[in-house]
């Protein structure tokens, strides 16, 4: 992913990225699964989907299904975006990802107070390696699923 811009809104700083290719819903589910499985599952705070209206919360269903997004009914149906948030043990801060379906846009939001410290220390690319890893792992998972080498969780 390539860093596009950062914006502040209501105490949060949003880092916007463009993905290598446009995201489709199956890819978004893979990215969300990798993000939860590899980093956020211990401190998962939110899983939701959003269309044109308000978000629909799915956190309890995801937890009840052992973090398997594909077993959470409505989340499996195609939506405009998927939101995943929690405390990142890798980046050591609370964060929220929003993957936007049928676009090449993804956002990562963190509290603005933490963002200013991280930006001062690392610059605008503070999350670039992290988001690149999420994108790469999602492509790997999607390839393994399509080749029948692993089952969707």
**HEC sequence for 27-46:** HHHHHHHHHHHHHHHHHEEE
Residue 45, in any domain of the structure: yes
In a domain, 151, yes or no: no
pLDDT band per the 50, 70, 90 thresholds, residue 95: very high
Contact 25, 101 (CB under 8 A): yes
The larger pLDDT score, comparing residue 70 to residue 103, is at 103
In the prediction, which pLDDT does 9 show?
92
pLDDT at 78: 78
- What distance lies between CA 59 and its chain's CA centroid? 14
Q: How many domains does the chain have?
A: 1
> Is 79 within a domain?
yes
Determine, yes or no, domain membership for 83: yes
Closest by Cα among 107, 118, 84 to 15: 107
Residue 153: pLDDT band (50, 70, 90) is: low
| pLDDT (mean) for 92-98 | 94
The CATH number linked to 66 is 3.30.530
For residue 81, being part of any structural domain is answered with: yes
Residue 152 lies in a domain: no
Mean pLDDT of 113-129: 87
Tokens of 81: 């975006």
The residue range of the domain holding 62 is: 2-146
Higher-confidence residue of 75 and 133: namely: 133
Across the range 39-51, mean pLDDT stands at: 90
Let me know if residue 93 belongs to a domain: yes
d(CA 105, CA 20): 10
153 domain-assigned: no
- Please give the mean pLDDT across all residues of the chain: 88
Query: Residues 6 or more apart from 50 whose CB is under 8 A from it?
Result: 56, 79, 80, 81, 82, 83, 98
């Amino acid at each position: 992913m390539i860093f596009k811009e950062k914006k502040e809104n209501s105490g949060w700083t949003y880092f916007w990225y463009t993905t290598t290719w446009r995201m489709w819903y199956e890819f978004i589910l893979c990215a969300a699964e990798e993000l939860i499985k590899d980093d956020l599952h211990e401190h998962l705070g939110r899983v939701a989907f959003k269309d044109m209206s308000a978000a629909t919360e799915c956190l309890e269903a995801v937890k009840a299904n052992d973090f398997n997004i594909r077993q959470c009914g409505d989340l499996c149906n195609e939506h405009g975006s998927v939101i995943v948030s929690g405390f990142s043990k890798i980046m050591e801060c609370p964060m929220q990802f929003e993957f936007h379906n049928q676009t090449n846009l993804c956002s990562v939001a963190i509290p603005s107070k933490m963002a200013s410290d991280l930006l001062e220390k690392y610059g605008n690319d503070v999350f670039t390696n992290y988001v690149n890893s999420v994108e790469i792992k999602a492509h790997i998972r999607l390839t393994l699923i399509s080749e029948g080498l692993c089952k969707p969780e």
